[in-house]
A and B are shown apart, each in its own frame.
Chain A
């Protein structure tokens, strides 16, 4: 694997405030990365800068070692799917999809074949002559995807592609997208504010906050070691609480003294730290770590979500009784240092 796209120290101000404040990352061949961040964090602007639609205040983008700053958007051969799709309303589905191929002067037969291919890929066979304004949101989304894929871009960028869709449609289209991204051997930059999408689709996740990439890694790495309380909170990993470092492998919290896994940082005994306590647990009388009184119980798809009077919640296999004092056993990797 080698990196094919390099984004180096990109800065961009918006109305006097830094929107992108030194973004650097690289993208490997065949890799799908997710830029994950709250709305307004500059993700879309970053995509437009990579696409060449906006010029950054400073910083550079290179492709395969070639600096792109003098290459206009229309010569970059990148595909960008816009958040609200930007389908041309005066063209049919087919005309929208062939737009890029016609500009590249592809042969009519080749265009025809390719349209059939991409429509098949996005599961919209037979939609060629439909009016795009009359399509549903999910259909528009897939036409936009087909239009972006059709000219076979060397980089695929998707800006909140599932953002405007309702839940069931989202689930379905996520699996369609996953299939397409895996079968299309091009690097992908996927922008979203939804951590579930990011975890499902990404090879690697970059978390953007205040114009900077504050964390990155494979979904598993981020899950294992979120690195900061903001990330842990943003990813919805579990309970975040203050703790006091007792000695190597043990912290003291309001829940009592907990065993903690090895930590990269070098903490002194007595130092204040923040820890993550994962909610997946089981009730057990023997070898329990936590004892607490039940304040609230809510059934979810992951089990009974039980909130203790101290504020933490855990997912349990069976329902306790309100007010009951329960004992909880945590798996070995449940407690993580957040620094």
Chain B
């Protein structure tokens, strides 16, 4: 009975804000005018979109493997100065909002980016010599930026745990290094390579922000098509149909992925093999190449962004190169001013305030719902094991589809929420909740029951005992997962782009809006906002890492 109460909030929430919108999509997508009517024209739109989605995801995955595998080899076999730091660096993109990443690449390689403007200034080009933004290359590069860490971690973990005797025994039998790799190492690594490829593919397949921000209007994946159909063409049934295709595809890929993971052959041993120093010239060359590329890929864009946000080039772009480059805080000052004066154009600082407000609401909702569930899951019984998989479903579904689901579900009484300030935080909470629960649960599970019991026999009533004994532990976990939820909400782009009211944009939406408009001032302001968001996110990540969650050692 107690367990049912603990689960009640989260289950009702998921039913209303996840399963209901999803079922509405299904009904709308399939039911509207009968299957036959919709199928014929619908497939003409869906097939090319689906084709491109798979095509770019495949290309991205292959490129990610090409970058990731040498890195995985280097990290799993060699020890060198700053290795820890490099490893941490490759993980940072995973938490960065897509708008920040897009803005970073734009600041570096975009038409108004550092590289192009410098080249134009130095050589007097009339037009930007490097065309990067709005190309397939930009999409692929951003995907590699995001997902390399998956290959590094999954494959690297297996590689550094492979039993060295297997390779040695074949070497003793007279096999050349290449043969050893082909016949022993590769087959042993294959499961982890496949699993990481599948995961990378899944992320690339559902990518939304990267495509729309860096690929421009020419490229439409399923996610982007759903967005365009619902917001620009206002064809909700078509959007719903695309959404169904999207959800079924991701469901299939997720099942394949979890099958791969559950086969258990991915990680073999607990112990990590001893690691060599970079003694040979070959290993040094490899290290220079890999680490050099990582610096280019991971650091330059993130460095270009804050630099570009304080640099002013000549106002009339492309006219004359003689104008000096100035350092300026104009773009930041401008954030407080509503230039155009129209009611739909608010001072950008307002977007920041909205973002913070929504993020705090998300933290409140997701913590309130997650805490009881994580508490129940910490000492699982039958009911918990049955309900647990439910929590993972929102992880697999797309944010844009969720946004679409909200649009068609909450547009009329009794749940007329589209005009409510709660709609965005509700969507963010649905997305954040699985993460929050998963980060709370192990901490709560690690608190021995004896503490609560000891407090109880010392005379503390249950609530008092919980506050005095469980809370000191749980508070840290709550803070950490609260920061996690805050960060997710702060950078969320997919669902927000469908749900936020035009007059109340969040900061990612404002960045998107400013970056896609002409004018040096708009561009500069986008850079300034993206810098602020990047700093905020980085601080959050650092705080999250800083909070040492109690591990088993303490007890």
Chain A residues at the B interface, C-beta cutoff of 8 Å: 48, 51-53, 72-80, 82, 84, 86, 88-90, 99-100, 103-104, 133, 147, 151
Contact = CB atoms under 8 A, between A and B. Distances in A.
Contacts of B448: 84, 86
Contacts of A89: 554-555
Given A73-B457, A74-B460, A103-B458, A82 B450 contact: yes
Contacts of B251: none
Contacts of B456: 51-53, 72-74
A103 B457 contact: no
A151 B459 contact: yes
Of A73, A77, A78, A133, the most chain B CB neighbours within 10 A belong to: A73
Nearest to A82: B450
A211 to B, nearest CB: 22
A86 B450 contact: yes
Contact of B464 (A77, A86, A103, A147): A103
Contacts of A75: 459
A88 B461 contact: no
Given A86-B451, A88-B469, A103-B464, A147 B458 contact: yes
A132 B468 CA distance: 17
B450 A74 contact: no
Interface in B170-205: none
Contact of A99 (B455, B462, B473): B455
A97 B457 CA distance: 13
- Chain B residues touching A, range: 20 to 34
Contacts of B461: 72, 74
14 contacts: A53-B453, A72-B462, A74-B457, A74-B458, A79-B458, A82-B453, A86-B450, A86-B453, A88-B472, A100-B459, A103-B460, A104-B459, A133-B554, A147-B458
Contact of B459 (A48, A74, A90, A133): A74
Contacts of B299: none
A53 B452 CA distance: 10
B458 A100 contact: yes
A166 to B, nearest CB: 21
A147 B455 CA distance: 11
A184 B554 CA distance: 34
A282 B202 CA distance: 84
Contacts, number: 69
Given A89-B554, A99-B458, A104-B459, A48 B453 contact: yes
Contacts of B472: 88, 90
B475 to A, nearest CB: 10
Contact of B457 (A51, A88, A90, A104): A51
B451 to A, nearest CB: 6
| Chain A to chain B: the 3 pairs with minimum beta-carbon distance, closest first | A100-B458, A86-B450, A86-B454
A51 B460 CA distance: 13
Contact of A151 (B450, B458, B554): B458
A86 B472 CA distance: 15
B152 interface: no
Given A78-B457, A90-B472, A147-B454, 20 more contacts: A51-B453, A52-B456, A73-B453, A73-B456, A74-B458, A74-B460, A76-B457, A86-B448, A86-B454, A88-B455, A89-B554, A99-B455, A99-B460, A99-B468, A100-B460, A103-B458, A103-B459, A104-B459, A133-B554, A147-B458
A264 B57 CA distance: 88
Given A89-B554, A90-B472, A82 B454 contact: yes
B457 A80 contact: yes
Contacts of A151: 458-459
A104 B457 CA distance: 12
Contacts of B509: none
A84 B451 contact: no
B469 to A, nearest CB: 6
B189 to A, nearest CB: 42
Contacts of A84: 448, 450
A99 B459 CA distance: 9
A158 to B, nearest CB: 12
B465 interface: yes
Of B448, B454, B460, the most chain A CB neighbours within 10 A belong to: B454
Contacts of A133: 554
Of B459, B469, B473, the most chain A CB neighbours within 10 A belong to: B459
A133 B554 CA distance: 8
B477 to A, nearest CB: 14
Given A86-B448, A88-B469, A89-B554, A74 B454 contact: no
Contacts of A52: 456-457
Contacts of B469: 88
A75 B464 CA distance: 13
A74 B465 contact: yes
A103 B450 CA distance: 18
Contacts of B451: 86, 88
A225 B468 CA distance: 49
A52 B462 CA distance: 13
Contact of A79 (B455, B457, B460, B464): B457
Interface in B451-506: 451, 453-462, 464-465, 468-469, 472-473
Contacts of A79: 457-458
A274 to B, nearest CB: 41
A56 B181 CA distance: 62
Contacts of A72: 456, 461-462
A151 B458 CA distance: 8
A74 B464 CA distance: 10
A133 B550 CA distance: 14
A88 B451 CA distance: 7
Interface string B114-141: 0000000000000000000000000000
Nearest to B465: A74
A53 B457 contact: yes
Contacts of A77: 459
B549 to A, nearest CB: 14
Contacts of B464: 74, 103
Nearest to B469: A88
Nearest to A54: B453
Contacts of B453: 48, 51, 53, 73, 80, 82, 86
B448 to A, nearest CB: 7
Interface in B426-449: 448
B275 to A, nearest CB: 33
Contacts of A86: 448, 450-451, 453-454
Interface in B210-241: none
A240 B554 CA distance: 47
A19 to B, nearest CB: 17
B445 to A, nearest CB: 16
Contacts of B454: 80, 82, 86, 88, 147
Contacts of B554: 89, 133
Nearest to A76: B457
A236 to B, nearest CB: 31
Contacts of A104: 459
Nearest to A104: B459
A79 B461 CA distance: 15
A84 B460 CA distance: 20
B479 to A, nearest CB: 15
B201 to A, nearest CB: 44
